Amino acid sequence: MRLRVTVRGRVQGVGFRYYVRRAAEALELGGWVRNNPDGTVEVDSTGPVADLNELLSRVSKGPLGARVDNVSVEWIPSVSSELPTGFIIR
């Protein structure tokens, strides 16, 4: 599966992208995370549903110093040829 998440709140300038990357790498998920100009953080990741749910749980809490006000979630079916390797900060 593929998971797309947009996180709103105090999520920029608090190490949020690095937190997400560490969590995704620990779960062996592929994808990316980036800051958006509107102050949100966007996450796009692929992998097994159970691992993506764990990533979503961690993203919904955020690192120390962050404040997550809202999480928008989109689940997208994916095929194995779409799966990226590694997880990067954009």
Tens-digit pLDDT profile for residues 14-55: 999 999 999 999 999 999 999 999 999 999 999 999 999 999
Model confidence at 61: pLDDT above 80: yes
Residues whose CB falls within 8 Å of the CB of residue 16, separated by 6 or more in sequence, listed in order: 7, 33, 41, 62, 63, 66
Q: How many domains in the chain? A: 1
36 catalytically annotated: no
Selected catalytic residue, list 35, 58, 70, 90: 35
53 catalytically annotated: no
Residues whose CB falls within 8 Å of the CB of residue 21, separated by 6 or more in sequence, listed in order: 33, 87, 88, 89
Q: What is the pTM of this model?
A: 0.91
Selected catalytic residue, list 17, 22, 34, 53: 17
Is residue 64 in some structural domain? yes
Neighbour count for residue 72 (Cβ, 10 Å)? 11
Q: What is d(CA 87, CA 72) in angstroms, rounded to the nearest whole number?
A: 20
Is residue 22 in some structural domain? yes
Is residue 50 in some structural domain? yes
